[in-house]
Amino acid sequence: MTETVAAVDAPAGSKHATWFRVVAIAEAISWTGLLIGMLFKYVLSDNEIGVQIFGPIHGGIFMLYVLTVAVVRKPLRWSWPTTLLALAASIPPLFTWFFELWAARTGRLR
């Protein structure tokens, strides 16, 4: 006996929400890596390798995050205050992750 399953279209914003989540979490992780690299460079030892590795990675992901916010704001129907909050969240360490959690809980990633 075979079972037929009807295809269900994903909500219009779901691919944008998924992409935003991935980039926001990657930005937070790269920020953490850069902070750890800075800890080793300036506090624990004079080793620059962590900053040399995570500096460019974080810079690239940061720019990708800003671009992603600009692209997903319309499909996700974000207001200007939400968009500005998303952009401001990229400045303090790990706040893109907190913004992503808040946006998901308040229905802004639908």
Q: Are 43 and 50 in contact (CB under 8 A)?
A: no
Q: Is the predicted pLDDT of residue 61 greater than 90, yes or no?
A: yes
Phi, psi of 80 (to 5 degrees): -65, -40
Split at pLDDT 50, 70, 90, the class of 110 is confident
pTM: 0.83
The span from the CA of 31 to the CA of 52, in Å, is 13
From the number of C-beta atoms within 10 Å of its C-beta (0-12, 13-18, 19+), residue 87 rates as middle
Measure Cα distances from 25 to 8, 9, 62 in Å.
28, 26, 11
pLDDT number for residue 45: 87
